[in-house]
Amino acid sequence: MNLYLLQLVNGIGLGMIYFVLAVGLSIIFGLLRFVNFSHGAFFLLGAYGCYQLVQMGVDFWWTLLLGPLIVGVLAWLIEVFLFRKVYHFPHEIHILITVGLAMVAQEAVILYWGPVGANVSPPELLQGVVVWDSFIYPKYRLFVIGAGLALALVLGLLLEGTRLGAIVRAGSESTEMISLLGVNIQRVFAAVFALGAATAALAGVLAAPIRGVDPFMGVEVLGIAFVAVVVGGMGSFAGALAGGLLVGIVQSMMSSIWPPGASLMIYVAMALVLLLRPNGLLGRA
């Protein structure tokens, strides 16, 4: 199979991971207008949650459910007891508080698990590779593509086909209007924040067998998540998918075309998109 075709498939796989990572960030910003720099911390906690549960003998498949659930509950508590009190402050304060929270999470991980990373094996069913002609691809990464698509479908149905989705979409236009219609907007905020954090945790669980776990993984992925959101359009669910895929494909293709610039070109692509469409691929003014 052509090398560039291989890289395209690999880029789609990468892009799906970036989508799962970025979608929560996008949804939270869309509704809450809250710049959440602690998003990487939820990714980190999801990954370590998976690691800890597997160490305790829990099957990996259960961690896909338990990891996001635990982190989602934690995020809900953080929203209720901390973030809710600071939404009215300017974005600079949001950044300060969420960066602080991310640092606390990182140091807590170091205190409990130590500074050295660890490995998480994929489940037995997903170990090994799929071989088709000269195409070789890890089964686990194919599973991640499927999981990303499934999440996109579920979130799409949730946001487009349910009352909660209608409230979230309307809320992203005008929270005051939704409040005036009798919706408990604070409860919706908490639910959306918990959902966003849970998707970050799911990304962490999915990423753990690919890249292992280490205390600094949250900070490292945050940049990519923001790029995917900005490229796709801040607050746009479909934009997160488009942005994630674009970033993944650019990174993978550039690994063959110009390997030293593979990471750099992600940011060049972002700059180009913003030049042509200042609100991102699918963002609205």
264-267 CB contacts, 8 Å cutoff, 24+ apart: 266/224, 266/227, 267/227
> Cβ atoms within 10 A of the Cβ of 47, count?
32
DSSP 124: G
278 binds another protein per the rule CB under 8 A: no
Among 100, 128, 146, 278, binds another protein (CB under 8 A): 128
Residue that the structure tokens 């160490």 belong to: 55
Closer CB to another protein, residue 130 or residue 177?
130
30 binds another protein per the rule CB under 8 A: no
- Per-position x/- string for 70-89, each x denoting binding to another protein as judged by CB under 8 A, each - no binding: --------------------
Among 52, 199, 236, 255, binds another protein (CB under 8 A): 255
N- to C-terminal Cα distance for the chain? 42
| Count of residues that interact with another protein, criterion CB under 8 A | 44
- For residue 84, the minimal CB distance to another protein (Å) is 32
β-partners of residue 132 are: 135
Closer CB to another protein, residue 2 or residue 90?
2
Its sign, for the CA torsion 126, 255, 280, 200, is positive
110 binds another protein per the rule CB under 8 A: yes
55 binds another protein per the rule CB under 8 A: no
256 binds another protein per the rule CB under 8 A: yes
272 binds another protein per the rule CB under 8 A: no
Among 100, 161, 220, 277, binds another protein (CB under 8 A): 220
Which run of H or E residues covers position 135? strand 135-138
> Cβ atoms within 10 A of the Cβ of 240, count?
33
Closest CA to 250 of 239, 238, 240, 263: 263
Query: For residue 138, which phi and psi values (nearest 5 degrees)?
Result: -65, 135
Q: Which residues make up the interface to another protein (CB under 8 A)? A: 3, 6-7, 10-11, 13-14, 110, 114-119, 121-122, 128-129, 131, 134, 136-138, 140-141, 209-212, 214, 216-217, 220, 251-256, 259-260, 262-264
